Structure 1
Amino acid sequence: MQPLYQRLISLLLLLSSLHVFQLTEGCSCALTHPQDAFCNSEIVIRAKVVGKKLLRDGPFGTLRYTVKQMKMYRGFDKVQHVQHIYTSASDSLCGVRFDINKYQYLITGRVYNGKVYTGLCNFNEQWERLSLAQRKGINHRYQLGCDCRIKPCHHLPCLVTSKNECLWTDMLSHFGNSGYQSRHYACIQQKEGYCSWYRGITHRDKTTINTTEP
């Protein structure tokens, strides 16, 4: 019986190692326009990360980041004030990494049992790296377009199929959520429920650009 037992243990260890390998290769996220990331998040804040602690819960552990919240943009109905952000300690499970006492971050996430969780598939970025249009979107404009649908275009031809859609073409140039539309446009609902791309007013050009094909 002993050799059979040992073979079973070896088989289980092999399957476990294969499972871990799949996890390390398993964090893949669909590209998301920052407006969709904002509208689909339960929590959106700007904060500075001031501490980190590894919690030994679960097989991989959880990182608990202590944050100094600067401003909350979304989530007032969920929590009063965010003090901690939780994420997986494993990169394979899409855990996100923040620098301590260096930058202010835009952090988006969800709330579970009163705790705020985020990961690589959420929109997290250094605040200084956001474009002016993205900052304005987070402050006001994105909320105006949460009833709109941003439709990704991966291959031509692409067509909108309803009046509340904006065609997102950044993927055609392989830039995705770092592309021109992502950085400079918001999809805003106009009259009679129609949605269209909105760039707004810039310092160089005092006109309002409102087009379905930026």
Structure 2
Amino acid sequence: MSCKVLGFLVSGLLFLALQAWTDACSCGPSHPQHVYCQSHVVIKGKIISSKLVGRGNSTDPSGFQWIQYEVQQLKMFKGSEKVERVEYVYTPQADFVCGFVLEADQLNKDYVLSGNVETDGKIYVNICGFNKLWSQLTSSQRAGLAGNYEAGCQCKIVPCLSLPCSISADNQCLWTDGIIDGNWAGSQSRRCGCSMKSSGLCQWEFYKRPRTPAVTRDGNQ
């Protein structure tokens, strides 16, 4: 399926507020490029082990425990100015508060991990980020991580939540996976990114290869 968006010419994009946490985690649609651009740190890493910890030097007031994942960093795509090397990432122990919770048989595998550095200096990840098995990434997503997403961070990806929908500025790309493919992991998410052209117009582009090399730490891509 083409990355170009066809036939959405009527204005009036409808924005929906994110559902408040109740008894389950709720994530709004986020394109991998958007998550990359909003994250402090993005790496490829092998999750070696996990253990339950408290947050900081005192009990977390929320009452939730946190999972500390030990990570063997294989490649850093973003964040070298914030952290020299990622050794641990943290996530809520419960998936209903958006914890990135892995079972024992999901450890010792390579993942793409995206997260933010909080005031305690630790990197926190959650299920709403771009955190998934490296083996499940498409070649276009790997090319995006290795330079193309970064080059498109000036652009804004706008999800089409209901019809009619459109974009309202030149720096926007209309994301229609949820309408066309029935889910947000469709062709634009898996194959495309939003890139700014020399004219200043942002458009969907099929990513075939990295635009610039990634920052290599250890291991191979």
Letter in 2 for 1:86: Y
Q: Deviations over 1:99-140 (max 9, x none)?
A: 221x20000010012110001111101001000000000001
Q: Please say if residues 24 and 91 of structure 1, whose CA atoms lie closer than 8 Å, have aligned partners that are also in contact.
A: no
Q: Please say if residues 45 and 74 of structure 1, whose CA atoms lie closer than 8 Å, have aligned partners that are also in contact.
A: yes
Counterpart position of 1:209:
none
Q: Please say if residues 143 and 207 of structure 2, whose CA atoms lie closer than 8 Å, have aligned partners that are also in contact.
A: no
1:70 aligned onto 2:68: no
Counterpart position of 2:183:
175
Structure 2 spans left out of the alignment, 5+ residues = 1-19, 210-221
Structure showing the higher helix proportion among its residues: 1
Q: Please say if residues 163 and 195 of structure 1, whose CA atoms lie closer than 8 Å, have aligned partners that are also in contact.
A: yes
Q: Structure 1 residues 36-45 or 22-31, which shifts more? A: 22-31
Superposition deviation, residue 84 in structure 1:
0.3
2:32 to 31, 34, 37: 34
Distance 2:33 2:93 in 1: 27
1:194 aligned onto 2:201: yes
Distance 2:49 2:95 in 1: 19
Superposition deviation, residue 174 in structure 1:
2.1
Q: Please say if residues 42 and 79 of structure 2, whose CA atoms lie closer than 8 Å, have aligned partners that are also in contact.
A: yes
SS of corresponding position for 2:111: strand
Q: Please say if residues 150 and 187 of structure 1, whose CA atoms lie closer than 8 Å, have aligned partners that are also in contact.
A: yes
- Structure 1 residue runs of 4 or more that deviate by more than 2 Å after TM superposition: none
Q: Deviations over 1:75-99 (max 9, x none)?
A: 1111100000100112221111232
Counterpart position of 2:141:
134
Letter in 2 for 1:156: L
- TM-score, normalization: structure 2? 0.77
> What is the percentage of aligned positions where both structures have the same residue?
38
Bigger radius of gyration among the two:
1
Q: Please say if residues 165 and 195 of structure 1, whose CA atoms lie closer than 8 Å, have aligned partners that are also in contact.
A: yes
SS of corresponding position for 1:192: coil
Q: Structure 1 residues 57-66 or 79-88, which shifts more? A: 57-66
State the Cα RMSD in Å.
1.6
Distance 1:95 1:155 in 2: 28
Distance 1:52 1:24 in 2: 27
Superposition deviation, residue 26 in structure 1:
3.2
1:47 aligned onto 2:45: yes
Distance 1:140 1:146 in 2: 10
Higher relative contact order (CA 8 A, sep 6+): 2
CA spacing shift, 1:201–1:122, aligned 2, 3 Å:
closer
1:89-108 to 2 correspondence within 5 Å? Answer: 89-98=93-102, 99-101=106-108, 103-108=109-114
SS of corresponding position for 2:199: helix
Distance 1:165 1:130 in 2: 24
Superposition deviation, residue 24 in structure 1:
6.5
